[in-house]
Amino acid sequence: MIAFDVQDMTCGHCVNAVTKAVRKTDNGASVSVNLDTKRVQINSPLGNTVAFEAAIREAGYHPVQVTNALATAPAPAAARATGCCGSRR
Ligand SMILES: [Cu+2]
């Protein structure tokens, strides 16, 4: 299980964009995104964390790897909103 916190996901479009980015990296990965906690969880046989992080970053988001997936999400970072809805916020 690989997990990222992606604080700049703001809506369903962002979820789609992140999901697509992960799938593009590994077609066989199962991706679950929780928009409330901004948590992206990936089950991938490849387990290529760096590749997934790069792909999400490339999609315009700022993933932070969660090393302990059971930990609660950190306080929202004051990150610039560069998600798909960023220009409208
Ligand atoms: Cu969005």
- Residue 83: predicted pLDDT: 62
Residue 68, number of CB atoms within 10 A of its CB: 7
Q: Which residue did the predictor score with more confidence, 9 or 85?
A: 9
Q: Which residues surround ligand 1, an ion (CB under 5 A)?
A: 10-11, 13-14, 83-85
Q: Which residues pair with 31 in a beta bridge?
A: 42
72: CA distance to ligand 1 center in Å?
22
Domain ranges of the chain: 2-77
49: CA distance to ligand 1 center in Å?
23
Q: Which CATH architecture has domain 2-77?
A: 2-Layer Sandwich (3.30)
81: CA distance to ligand 1 center in Å?
10
pLDDT digits (tens, 9 = 90+) for 6-35: 999 999 999 999 999 999 999 999 999 999
Question: pTM of this prediction?
Answer: 0.78
- Residue 73: predicted pLDDT: 55
Residue pair 69/41 in contact (Cβ under 8 Å)? The answer is yes
64 pLDDT exceeds 70?
yes
